[in-house]
Amino acid sequence: MGDAEIVDSLGSSASDLRVSLFADLKIVKCGLDFEHQARSEGFAVIAGIDEVGRGCLAGPVVAAACVLDLEKPLPKGLNDSKKLTAKQREEIDEELRKTALAFAVGQIEADEIDRINILQATIRAMASAVASLDPKPEFLLIDAVKLREIPIPQKSIIKGDAISASIAAASVIAKVYRDRLMHDYHQTYPQYSFHEHVGYATKTHRDAIRTHGPSPIHRLSFRGVLIEEEAE
């Protein structure tokens, strides 16, 4: 559906909807306030979108999109994935995979991150996740980023993973998926201990880069990866 069709079918553009919806909401905890208001405006399929791995030195940036079944209870303890333990994330991820109406994951690898920059890679990963959803979403709730190239009404929410259940669900799915991926990479590149830091810039990780140099999954454009940059 193009922008003109959105204007015709909804009576306002996607950018208008970003302003008109949610203007009076003051949310302080993770729940379904954004989702219920979007539904009250006529949107039935509402997807939350979030990414993980944006600040890592190695591995892909991963985004997830999740459409919750608003008629079912939320998984117990659902919250921003950063506020949960690994065990809690695994349990919530398992429940979401059973109860969500739809979910999908998109990822952009390190070489493409180096080529187009991390922001554009994040946007592409999010767009890929959205495109893979079935049923297709009618409204998007996105953590911080604006997906201007996607002609679907949407709302970008700062720290959305802490106040929107749909975005929190996406954050958990993305985190669990990426952590498992990085644990698998540990089998191929054990010298970097990816199973411990999953690509983030810990001292252990930086020391391994100094000792062994970057691996094929390291982001060569990131400060801290190239040895000559580290020495500056």
Domain that holds residue 61: 3-176
Structural domain includes residue 148 = yes
Polymer length in residues for the chain: 232
Give the closest residue to 80 by CA, choosing from 181, 169, 183, 198: 169
For residue 103, what is the domain's CATH number? 3.30.420.10
Structural domain includes residue 46 = yes
Asked if pLDDT for residue 8 goes beyond 60, the answer is no
Structural domain includes residue 121 = yes
Cis peptide before 135 (omega within 30 of 0): yes
How buried is 143 (Cβ within 10 angstroms: 0-12 exposed, 13-18 middle, 19+ buried)? buried
How buried is 33 (Cβ within 10 angstroms: 0-12 exposed, 13-18 middle, 19+ buried)? middle
Structural domain includes residue 100 = yes
Number of domains in the chain: 1
Asked if pLDDT for residue 77 goes beyond 80, the answer is yes
Structural domain includes residue 147 = yes
Asked if pLDDT for residue 12 goes beyond 50, the answer is no
The DSSP line for 37-94 is: HHHHTT---EEEEEEE-TT-SBS-EEEEEEE--TTSPPPTT---GGGS-HHHHHHHHH
How buried is 87 (Cβ within 10 angstroms: 0-12 exposed, 13-18 middle, 19+ buried)? exposed
Across 27-37, average pLDDT: 90
At 110-163, the pLDDT tens digits run: 999 999 999 999 999 999 999 999 999 999 999 999 999 999 999 999 999 999
Give the closest residue to 229 by CA, choosing from 215, 216, 213: 213
Structural domain includes residue 182 = no
Across 157-178, average pLDDT: 97
Determine contact, residues 208/196, Cβ cutoff 8 Å: no
Asked if pLDDT for residue 7 goes beyond 60, the answer is no
**Separation of alpha carbons 14 and 201, rounded Å:** 38
Structural domain includes residue 188 = no
Structural domain includes residue 209 = no
Determine contact, residues 83/172, Cβ cutoff 8 Å: no
